Amino acid sequence: MNTPPDSPLFTLLHQVRRRLWSGRILSQLLRATWWSAALLLGGGLVHAFHQPLPASAVAALAALPLAAAVLLGLLRGRPPLAHAAAIADRWFDGKALMSSALDQWQAPPGRHTRASRFVIEAADRCAPSWSERLAHAHRWRPPRHAVIPVALGLAGVYLLLLPGPAPRQDSVAIGATPPPADASRPNLTASDFVAGLRQALRDARQAPTDPAALGGGSALGGRQSATGRMVTLHTDSTQRTASADTRPGRARAVPQEGKTPVTPAGRGSTTTGSDGPRSDTAGSGAGRVAGTRHGSPAAPPLSVQYFPVVRATGDDEKPAATGHGAGRDLTPMPAALASVDIRQTAGAARWDTDMPDALTLSPAQRHYVRQYFSDLGEPR
């Protein structure tokens, strides 16, 4: 046809087509917004009430539906010109003028009549004003129904930005701010400390039996293993002590020569339930640990249950073993353990002992250590 493709008719049709295309992508984005909002909100809820989640990962996951919607819109391409013409006729009550003009323009030259030329010219006359109306009247406005998913998504973002769930009583992350010392809240955590204790005991067992090496300062010296991996410790009241201090009349909770007894956890737990009466300590148990978890070398989430230490005293107000903590005769030890000096395994570190550089306690851990020795009545 004699009308070039850059005529007002085609300018309008391309304009409508672009508008349709963007509108289609927008509607797909709107649908995807619901998915993103659901992901953000779900992630936020999990983060706030169940388990901390990395906000960046959740945000990236939530962005996936939006990116997919845009990608899909781009891949589907722009709508055909005939569709744009029909839509333009519908928008401007064109009575099929654009559709007819486009149809006649696309017809073979032999089919062109004066009526078809008349129609195309009429369309070209109308197109500029329609384009102007389209530019002004059909400006994009944010759809109202997008408010809900956006609000939900923002709520999810807010939840994700919260510090995370409150620490459970049986677990705390290293470096967490210590709660105030309160005897009514016995289940507190100091995993590093306990892990250090356990490692110290393990090191003590593995060390050669050398009386010269015994001493208060040696117990905490190896609280971290050579690999730096924290170890699990379960030393509740059910543990079996391999110490000779568990014998009646020799309450091991009473510090001997200023040492605080510490019981190896792993060994104690292995005999639980099969050893008859448990060898509880006179002090109701001190530094008990439960529910610790194996973690990564960098920051293992460990947990400690803390029980206040009560010094057992006799009628003369002197430290003495009680009947409750009398324990029983020493259970025969395995041959591997028999060589370990009992003083070494029972030895506890004094606070004033120099700490090795490898062990850096967090504020929480320092708090529990302080509380531990405070309950024992030992000076720091």
Q: Which residues bind other proteins (CB under 8 A)?
A: 82, 86, 95-97, 99-104, 113-119, 121-122
Strand (E) or helix (H) holding 72: helix 55-76
> 93 vs 317, which CB is nearer to other proteins?
93
**Is the CB of 121 or the CB of 275 nearer to other proteins?**
121
CB neighbour class for 163 (10 Å; exposed up to 12, middle 13-18, buried from 19): exposed
Closer of 100 and 305 to other proteins (Cβ) = 100
Nearer to other proteins, 119 or 230 (CB): 119
CB of 112 to other proteins, least distance (A): 10
Residues 6+ apart with CB under 8 A from 90: none
CB of residue 109 to other proteins, shortest distance in Å: 15
Structure tokens at 17: 């087509």
Task: For residue 215, give the 3-state DSSP assignment.
Answer: coil
Q: Pick the closer one to other proteins by CB: 99 or 365.
A: 99
Q: How far is the CB of 127 from other proteins (least distance, A)?
A: 15
Cβ proximity to other proteins: between 118 and 158 the closer is: 118
Q: Minimal distance in Å, beta carbon 35 to other proteins?
A: 31
CB of 104 to other proteins, least distance (A): 6
Q: Report the residue count for the chain.
A: 380
Measured CA to CA, the distance from residue 250 to residue 320 in angstroms comes to: 8
Taking the complex as a whole, the smallest distance from the CB of residue 103 to other proteins amounts, in Å, to: 4
Q: CA of 348: how far to CAs of 142, 196, 215, 221, 286, in Å?
A: 69, 11, 9, 11, 12
User: Considering beta carbons, is residue 3 or 322 the nearer one to other proteins?
Assistant: 3
DSSP 172: B
Beta bridge partners of 24: none
Tell me which DSSP letter residue 28 carries. H
Nearer to other proteins, 127 or 219 (CB): 127
Where does 243-318 have alpha helices with state H?
265-270
Residue with tokens 């903590």: 325
Residues with Cβ within 8 Å of residue 157, at least 6 apart in sequence: 40, 44, 59
| CA nearest to 260, candidates 376, 379, 370 | 376
Least Cβ distance, residue 115 to other proteins (angstroms): 4
Give min distance, CB of 114 to other proteins, in A.
Answer: 4
